[in-house]
Structure 1
Amino acid sequence: MTETPHPDHSGQAITIQKVDPILSTGVVVSTTAQLPDGRLEDRHAAYHDNISPPLRWTAVPDAKAWAVVVEDPDAPQEAPFVHWMIWNIPGPARGLPEGVANTPGLATPHGAVQGRNGQHGFGYFGPLPPAGHGLHHYYFQVFALDEAIDMGPETPLHDLLNALKARTLASGELVATYEAPTRQ
């Protein structure tokens, strides 16, 4: 049986490149889990503790809900690898804490829904670039929404994307990097 070869990198655009926000103002996204060189701290990688990093973002007037999508377009597959999809984060929120539980529904933030990541689990799945594949870029994309999204945790990214296209007031992103650890 012959396997179909994977490309070196995805050829598709990431989610934020497919959404045209209503407002021209952007959202500034930050984290304390990024080192000065842009690298994500080890504890947030699947090679280590695999816990979601804390995220902060700036306010957007009239935002009723927020969504976060994390993708790696450097993954050796057709589409960017989905590391995290979470939506219906309450409008007053200005971020997410470190270590959000990997469950479809969340008590904190109340009402938030998490979809499946590229490993088919719910919630965050940290960087796990293949050894020797070089530096990967992880796009933490944040969307301010004019209303909550009425979709459950089994929603695939393409359906979430369509909802984001219809509801995004403003968006922003943070790009972190990670490379497979070298063997010693």
Structure 2
Amino acid sequence: MGLCNGTRRVRRAAVMVTAVASVLAASGCGAIVGTSEAQEIARINVSSPDLREGRPLPRQFSCQGTQGSPPLRWSSRPLEEAETVAIVVDSNSAESSGVYWVLYNIPATTTELGPNAAEDPPEGSGQATVTSGKAGYEPPCVVKGAYRFSVYTLRGKVEEEHSDSLSDVLRRIADLTIARGRLTAVNIE
């Protein structure tokens, strides 16, 4: 029974991730869904000393390693309305749909996170409960998958209540996004 409930939760989270990703993808075309005025979404350049676009996720950042979350860096043009930054790590493929990390309310002046930042997040930030039911970075395990490390600049703070679901937090991030960027690792080494 618990396995079935867990599978249903994973499927629901995957559907929500797909919905949020669709909203964010649509917003990259010049408008944020649900607002009456079109807003341009700025681009964020996302990089990492340990990850390369389109290359495998190093094993040490998977469930077979011990490093936790990988280091990330980001930059974009100055955005005077930027208040916070959010990071969402997810995958959306037939083999490995899920959300592995949601870190939000990172100060807008922060432009990088060191290795294993999930264990010592920036002051004032929060971490949502991910697909597995754990808060923090949940290292991916499926060898064949595309793991997206997305960074969002937000025009406000993500207000979260203890009863909020993962989909609620992701929706708030989508509603506040003014810039976005992504680094995708394909498969696990």
1:11-50: CA deviation from partner (whole Å, max 9, x where unpaired)? 7726333222533421111111125861111110111215
User: What fraction of aligned residue pairs are identical, expressed as a percent?
Assistant: 24
Q: CA RMSD in A?
A: 2.8
TM-score, L = length of structure 1:
0.77
Tell me what 1:117 maps to.
130
Q: Which structure 1 residue ranges, 5 or more long, are not aligned?
A: none
Q: How does 1:32-71 map to 2 (within 5 A)?
A: 32-34=49-51, 38-59=55-76, 60-62=78-80, 63-71=82-90
What count of residue pairs does the alignment treat as equivalent?
166
1:27-85: CA deviation from partner (whole Å, max 9, x where unpaired)? 111111125861111110111215100011113412110111111112547xx311001
**Matched-pair contact (CA < 8 Å) for 1:14–1:71:** no
1:137-166: CA deviation from partner (whole Å, max 9, x where unpaired)? 001111100111111466322212321232
Q: Which structure 2 residue ranges, 5 or more long, are not aligned?
A: 33-38
Which moved further from structure 2: 35-44 or 113-122? 35-44
TM-score, L = length of structure 2:
0.75
Instruction: Give 1:123 shift.
Output: 0.6
More helix by share: 2
Once residues 35 and 23 of structure 1 are traced to their aligned partners in structure 2, the CA distance between those partners, rounded to angstroms, is 27
1:112-145: CA deviation from partner (whole Å, max 9, x where unpaired)? 100112221111011200xxxx621001111100
Cα gap change, 1:61 to 1:35, in 2 (>3 Å): closer
One-letter code aligned to 1:73? N
